[in-house]
Amino acid sequence: MPSKTGSWSLFFRILGMAFLLATVFTLWPRPGQNFGGWNPSLALLLTPVASPQGETTRIRIGIVSGHMGNDSGAVCYDGNGNVTLTEAEVNQRIASLVQKKLQERGLEVDLLQEFDTRLNGYRAVALVSIHNDSCEYINEQATGFKVAAASNGYDPNRAARLAACLQDRYQRVTGLPFHPNTITRDMREYHAFSEIDPGTVAAIIETGFLYLDRDYLLNHTGQVAEGIVEGVLCFVYNENIETTPVP
Ligand SMILES: [Zn+2]
């Protein structure tokens, strides 16, 4: 049985380790980035450490391909009532590209279905669900993207930070307008938010409207995916968001 002093010193050791991890996590540099002006001993600390099996621990990200394995989501019809495109198809093209691009940047990525059984208690640095909005003509303002953060995790501030990163980077990369006025309760109370481990930071993005943004979503899918990838990396590596003045 440990003595009282023993438990206290263990307590402080754990506290010290938690502090160190928090510091390291916050200052995680993006691979290939130099440590400009940083303390060299800190740089040393941040060098990826190999596990006893010789593998390095990689950052895990979950990507939900909206509606995959369940339903079609929003549907586009031609003049004769035939289905020409489904939201699920578009989501999957984007989600697969996001997975590939994040893997190329050294991250571990799980591509998940809408009601994937792995979502129960899912643990990762971040989870992003990809959806798109209606294929019906609403009005000329029905263009652009929306982002909502999970507010029911342990740290809503980190979820807000993930959403802010996604919003900033997606807008920069795609040039599509941010469309905050149509963020629905379905987005804010997205089912997966309450299924995943509360320590997993999560957000949902609707990358465009299938009617007015159809051409962009289908012919510039690489840019769409890149916008999400840059948003995830901004969050993971705690990068700066420069607020642009709203016109
Ligand atoms: Zn959807």
Whether residue 83 sits in one domain with residue 15: no
Q: Mind giving me the DSSP string for 142-209?
A: --SBEEEE--SSS-HHHHHHHHHHHHHHHHHHH-PPB-GGG--HHHHT-GGGGTS-TTSEEEEEEEEE
- For residues 92 and 66, give the distance between their C-alpha atoms in angstroms, rounded to a whole number: 7
CATH of the domain at 165: 3.40.630.40
How far does the centroid of ligand 1 lie from the alpha carbon of residue 234, in Å? Answer: 24
- Alpha-carbon distance 202 to 188, whole Å? 11
Q: Are residues 78 and 148 in the same domain?
A: yes
Side chain identity at 105, as an amino acid letter? R
Ligand 1 centroid from CA 133, angstroms = 6
Distance 107 CA to ligand 1 centre (A): 25
Q: Are residues 200 and 171 in the same domain?
A: yes
**Cβ distance 97 to 225 under 8 Å?**
yes
How much distance in Å is there from the Cα of 124 to the middle of ligand 1?
A: 22
- The whole-number pLDDT of residue 44 equals 39
Would residue 181 count as lying in a domain? yes
**Residue 180: its pLDDT value, please?**
84
Q: What is the pLDDT of residue 42?
A: 41
Same domain, 27 and 88: no
Assess contact for 201 and 158: CB atoms under 8 A.
yes
Do 41 and 66 have their domain in common? no
Which residues 6+ apart lie within 8 Å of 183 measured at CB? 146, 147, 148
| Pairwise CA distance, residues 124 & 60, whole Å | 5
CA 221 to ligand 1 center in whole angstroms: 17
Q: What is the 72 CA–ligand 1 centroid distance (Å)?
A: 8
pLDDT tens readout for residues 147-188: 999 988 999 999 999 999 999 999 999 999 999 888 888 899
Distance 243 CA to ligand 1 centre (A): 29
Going from the Cα of 69 to the center of ligand 1, the distance in angstroms, rounded, reads 13
Residue-wise pLDDT for 36-59, tens only, equals: 444 444 443 444 444 555 556 789
pLDDT at 182: 83
Whether 118 and 54 have beta carbons less than 8 Å apart is answered as no
94 Cβ contact partners less than 8 Å away, ≥ 6 residues apart: 65, 130, 207, 217, 221, 224, 225, 228
Ligand 1 center from residue 73 Cα (angstroms): 5
Alpha-carbon span 201 to 128, nearest angstrom: 9
CB-CB contact of 104 with 119 (8 Å): no
Using the mean position of ligand 1's atoms as its centre, give its distance from the Cα of residue 89 in Å. Answer: 11
Nearest to 166 by CA among 94, 85, 92, 76: 94
Burial of 163 per CB tally in 10 Å (0-12, 13-18, 19+)? buried
| 135 and 31 within one domain | no
Q: Is residue 24 part of a domain?
A: yes
Question: How many A from CA of 14 to the centre of ligand 1?
Answer: 43
Domain that holds residue 36: 4-45
**231 with 152, same domain?**
yes
Q: Are the C-beta atoms of residues 201 and 125 closer than 8 Å to each other?
A: yes
Residues 6+ apart with CB under 8 A from 184: none
10/180: higher pLDDT: 180
Cα distance between residue 202 and residue 128, in whole Å: 6
CA of 91 to the centre of ligand 1 (A): 8
Distance 242 CA to ligand 1 centre (A): 30
Instruction: State the burial class of residue 5 (Cβ atoms within 10 Å of its Cβ: 0-12, 13-18, 19+).
Output: exposed
What separation in Å is there between the alpha carbon of 68 and the centre of ligand 1? Answer: 10
pLDDT in tens, 81-133: 999 999 999 999 999 999 999 999 999 999 999 999 999 999 999 999 999 99
pTM: 0.79
Over residues 210-247, the pLDDT tens digits come to 999 999 999 999 999 999 999 999 999 999 998 655 55
User: For residue 88, how far is its CA from the centre of ligand 1 (angstroms)?
Assistant: 7
What separation in Å is there between the alpha carbon of 26 and the centre of ligand 1?
32
| 50 within a domain of the structure (yes/no) | no
The Å distance, Cα 132 to ligand 1 centre, comes to: 5
Whether 16 and 87 map to the same domain: the answer is no
Measure 193 CA to ligand 1 centroid, in angstroms: 15
